[in-house]
Structure 1
Amino acid sequence: MKLMLFIAIIFSASMSVHAAQASDKTKFTFEDLKNLAKTSAGKPYTPPDVPVPELIDKITYDQHWKIRFKEDETLYPSGEIAPVQLFYPGRYFPEPVKIFIRDSNNLVQEVPFSNALFDMPADSPAHALPEGFGYAGFRVMRPGMKPDWVSFLGASYFRTDGPQGQYGLSARGIAINTGMSEPEEFPRFSAFWVGPAENNSEDLSVWALLEGPSITGAYRFGLTKDNKNAEGHVTSVTANLYMREDVERLGIAPLTSMFWYSERDKTVAKDWRPEIHDSDGVAIHTGSGQHIWRPLNNPKLVSTNSFFDKNPKGFGLIQRDRDFNNYQDDGVFYNKRSSAWVKPRGKWGKGAVQLIEIPTKDETFDNIVAYWVPEKPAQKGDEFTFSYDIEWRELDPISKELARVTNTRQGLGGIPGQPIPEGVNKMVIDFEGAVFEGLDRNSGVKPIVEASNGEIIEPIGVYPVVGTNQWRLTFDYKQINENPVTIRAYLVNKDDKAISETWVSDATVTIK
């Protein structure tokens, strides 16, 4: 019966006694959403109301994931290609979110919240939640109700499971004052309008209203599964932003991930697994065409790095290490975690890709954030529009004429068998790429290594690694004072042409 209903009506959503009737449809365009956000920015911020916070707090993490949206209540705003299911609220997602279904004629109707739409254990505290409370978000299933591939859940967070079907890092609608002394602000998507694809390459289109103390926004998301050109899912984003208050640090296209430790320095953790991270580096393709790789750290204090640029071509948080043996985790499969690559549309002007690293002692908290900060300060009354694609890939795109960094290792300085020099560490960087084909030790490959606030100690070695298609760069360094050494390194050929991306890192003498 439900199949007949969603075929019979214009916009394909499964219907039930709890769903709004066709007479409840109203006309609502994206321009209406922009006007709504702009008008809201001119008014004082009103925090969302959580009607029964003491009850919501009882719905713990474990209890929350036992509550499932009923399969026969699934929504089909874009037909069977992208079934949509809704998330129940809980302790970690307490603020109610409105969900609307939109048809191709921009006629919309709300999906009223009801416990009858969910299956839950008999002893779940959620049974006492009042009707009409509100959802936490939604997810998009594969055809045939196979596993979901994209979800929007909590604040302005969203993510996909990437090309290997394993969720990892997340994206956000906006980042406000991240990594600063004052508390970070977390605006949220308070309402979604989910509808059919707005161009032929997409599977689903989503509009969202962003609301926060300092900002409002009207967002359009185009969701595409398994895009062949991007080698994974693609989320196309247009963010129309309206400043309610001045913001010191406005983060555009933010990505959020987790990094505990890697092969570089395992002394920060005592876990049995060799490495634990959702991402192992930030990659940047600058407006001038340079490719930069910055391996991630788990610092002792909050660390901020800014990579100044003009009209960037792309940046992302990347999981390059894909070898299961380097993780040995057959539960959450860190080797399968997706990378996310932000590809700006249009010219973004001057600004910086900013990387925030926050100390962590385990793998349960996201401690890495990367985003674009415009040069122009964000002040009350300002309006901005940014458009970009997020490509959920295995690896970041890079020219075949350049080798990419595959490993960064750090250890004691000096030469084995000789006295260990005081206050000196060794850095070992492995590069891999087709550009090395046919090259050997006599081909004139040369290292370029530069440091500020530190000293690079000769000799600097570069050579092919026996039995592999990699080349290895090794050098010792020491600090001048207690501040980290900033090191920049890359490889050139005999004609002094760069044949690798540029490795950049802050380094301290941590192994003694």
Structure 2
Amino acid sequence: MDRRRRRLLQSAAAWAGVSSIGGVPASWAAMNAPLSGGAPFSFDRLIALARDLATLPYVPPKPRYGQLLSQLGYKTFMGIKTRKGHQLWENTDLPFSVEFFHLDNGIRVPVDINIVSNGHARHLDYDPKMFVYPDPTLAHRMPDDLGYAGFRLHDARTDHREWLAFKGASYFRSPGTENQYGMSARGVSVNSGEPGPESFPDFTRYWIQRPHPGDDAITLWALLEGEHLTGAYQMRCSRPGDVIMDIRCRLFQREAIERLGIAPLTSMFWFSETNARRGADWRPEVHDSDGLAIQTGTGERIWRALSNPPRPDISLFADDNPHGFGLLQRDRNFDHYQDSGVSFERRPSTWVEPVGDWGHGQVALFELPTNDEIYDNINAFWIPAQPATAGSRWAFDYKLLWTDHAPFPGNLAHVTATRTGHAGDPSTYKDRRPTDRKFVIDFDGGPIGQNEPGADIHIDASASFGEIDNPYVIAIGSGHPGWRVFIDWRGDTPPDQQSVVLHCRLMRGKEPLTETWVYSYYPKPLPG
């Protein structure tokens, strides 16, 4: 794993670690926030800035106090708290407040933060009184111009809970409606899934619109800077229930990019009922997301069940103007995880809904092998068909939804589980090849309900290599709604050692009853 990715992920584990403490006048955030300078600001001005910067050589940011921050271990950092009353706009009549993150050993370069009001931006200076340290001597060692690592938004209208956070590279994430952090989003991905190293551009400057009393949304802007490109972002963020982000993205390339990823999503998948690691961990399932969902431009719904592959694996889904794609956590049954400490069943799903014409391209799913839950090994993003050459300019608008429910219509049955085992019937096990595999796919919802599958139902299944054998469908029964499809895959390992891609859906005549289940299987013998 790339060392920078590792540092970012380790730092991200502490996103929820800073909370308010202490006692200072509650009016501090309203009256004494240290603002300086002032200049006209608009999204058009930000776009012009990003465009101009793309014509200049990239200068990587360097930490000013790297040696000092390297001494902040995880335990020490988790003991640093925001002083009570020091959130921006805390205890005012404004609907949102902003809490800032302390720099740490993983993120040593501060971001530039500005506050926008009436079309003018003023710089938010660092305030050393912002934080309370577990070791008083540490406070005296912190410089007055240290800067902030990022920030998170709190909702002052209801429960004062945090609902959106920005920290590290171009990462941001939301705990969603269930108030549980899980997967993340990024501004852009550069060469994710390529043989060479991935590049991580940074949101280096932020502008936060001061809201008005009664506002139901807050607008943020960000400048992206990296070796290969620059970018300007506008994000209108609201929390009517689900967290909704209306994002406008403008990119300007410095250098050619082999694989440009738009609206990238990042998650973790270790194991589920599909690939349960018996004996490796006491929990039945460990994942932040269990599938990639796609609604194509023609309206087809695809469910690509996630896997933990033996080697890096990329799946590409060609499309024209997709209706949407996202990494979802469908399984919301606590019994399937049994871990009340991290609550996988409450982790948000994230859905990308393109706005305007995205043209031809591919939805990409990049999966990395992992042996632990601390690494984000799942990436999904849109790859435009047009080559990402030096000097290219891009404009993409989209909605980003953080939710706990299905983000598309329920007119088709959806996949609820994928299980695997030995192919064939028990009496024929001795005749099987070691790589033959049975796949059991459960569907529920839509036109299925409590109905029994009739004679007019047929299984549309295929494999990129080998053959499909003995397909059949039954009602799950025993008080459980839905239908269960059984298919056997038979074959040897593909000559190129790559995966076998399987497709399955249920049809009535020419009409689909279910979304299309897709799975990437690496043939290998099962134990036993």
TM-score (norm 1): 0.92
**2:375 matched residue in structure 1:** 365
Hey, what does 2:164 align to over in structure 1?
150
Offset at residue 79 of structure 1 (A): 5.2
1:397 deviates by 2.4
Q: 2:450, 2:481 within 8 Å by CA — same for their partners in 1?
A: no
Q: How many residues align?
A: 495
Q: How far is 1:345 from its partner?
A: 0.4
Where in structure 2 are the equivalents of 1:186-197 lying within 5 Å? 186-196=200-210
Q: TM-score, normalised by structure 2?
A: 0.89
The aligned residue for residue 179 of structure 1 is 193
| Contact 1:196-1:203 at 8 Å conserved across structures | no
1:358-402: CA deviations, max 9, x gaps? 111100010000000000111221111111011111133233220
Write out aligned runs for 1:79-478 (5 A): 80-103=94-117, 105-122=118-135, 125=138, 127-143=140-156, 146-196=160-210, 202-227=216-241, 232-267=242-277, 270-420=280-430, 421-423=432-434, 424-437=436-449, 439-442=451-454, 444-457=456-469, 459-466=470-477, 467-478=479-490
Residue equivalent to 1:14: 30
Partners of 1:509 and 1:199 in 2: CA distance: 59
Report the Cα offset of residue 497 of structure 1: 1.0
Q: What's the secondary structure of 1:503's corresponding residue?
A: strand
> Residues 116-166 of structure 1: CA distance to partner in whole angstroms, max 9, x if unpaired?
111111257464232112210000112177321110011100001111111
1:57 and 2:70 correspond: yes
Amino acid at match of 1:286: T
Counterpart residue number, 2:84 = 71
Secondary structure of residue in 2 paired with 1:465: strand
Identity between Structure 1 and Structure 2 (%): 37
**Aligned partners of 1:381 and 1:404: how far apart in 2?**
42
CA contact 2:269–2:307 (8 Å) conserved in 1: yes
Letter in 1 for 2:485: L
User: Partners of 2:212 and 2:189 in 1: how far apart?
Assistant: 27
Q: Counterpart of 1:461 in structure 2: which amino acid?
A: Y
In structure 1, runs of 5+ residues without a counterpart are 6-12
Looking at structure 2, the residues matched to 96 and 176 of structure 1 have their Cα atoms a distance apart, in angstroms, of 22
Residues 252 and 441 (structure 1 numbering): CA distance in 2 closer, same or farther, change over 3 Å? closer
SS in 2 for 1:335: helix
Deviations 1:42-86 (A, max 9, x none): 000011120121111112233223222223122129953111111
- The answer as to 2:503 corresponding to 1:488 is yes
Show the counterpart of 1:9.
none
- Counterpart of 2:13? none
Superposition misfits of 4+ residues, deviation over 3 angstroms:
1-5, 123-127, 196-202, 417-420
Structure 2 counterpart SS, 1:504: strand
Distance 1:282 1:35 in 2: 35
Q: Is the contact between residue 355 and residue 370 of structure 1 (CA under 8 Å) also seen in structure 2? A: yes
CA distance in 2: counterparts of 1:157 and 1:89, whole angstroms: 15
Give the distance between the partners of 2:82 and 2:461, measured in 1 at CA.
55
Contact 1:454 1:477 in 2 (8 A): yes
Distance 1:389 1:127, change over 3 A: farther
Unmatched tracts of structure 2, length 5 or more: 1-23
Task: Specify the alignment match of 1:10 in structure 2.
Answer: none
Q: What is the aligned partner in structure 2 of residue 37 from structure 1?
A: 50
**How far apart, CA to CA, are the structure 2 residues paired with 1:214 and 1:251?**
13
Contact 2:414-2:443 within 8 A present in 1 as well = yes
Mapped contact 1:82–1:142 kept (Cα < 8 A): yes
Q: Separation in 1 of the partners of 2:314 and 2:506?
A: 26
Structure 1 residues 439, 87: CA separation in 2 closer, same or farther (over 3 Å shift)?
Answer: same
CA contact (8 A) 2:423 2:429 kept: no
Q: Which moved further from structure 2: 409-418 or 208-217?
A: 409-418
Tell me which amino acid in the other structure corresponds to 1:426.
K
**AA matched with 2:171:** Y
Match of 2:514 among 481, 500, 508: 500
Equivalent residues of 2:316, 2:364 under 8 A apart: yes
CA gap of 1:217–1:197, structure 2 versus 1, over 3 A, is: farther
For residues 154-213 of structure 1, give each alpha carbon's deviation from its aligned partner in whole angstroms, at most 9, with x where no partner exists: 110000111111110000000000121211100011111111459998521101111101
User: 1:506 and 1:334, CA in 2 relative to 1: closer, same or farther beyond 3 A?
Assistant: same
CA distance in 2, matches of 1:127, 1:274: 47
Q: Deviations over 1:245-299 (max 9, x none)?
A: 1111100000000000000011387000000000000000001110000000111
On the 8 A contact 1:139/1:151 being kept in 2, the answer is yes
SS, match of residue 396 in structure 1: coil
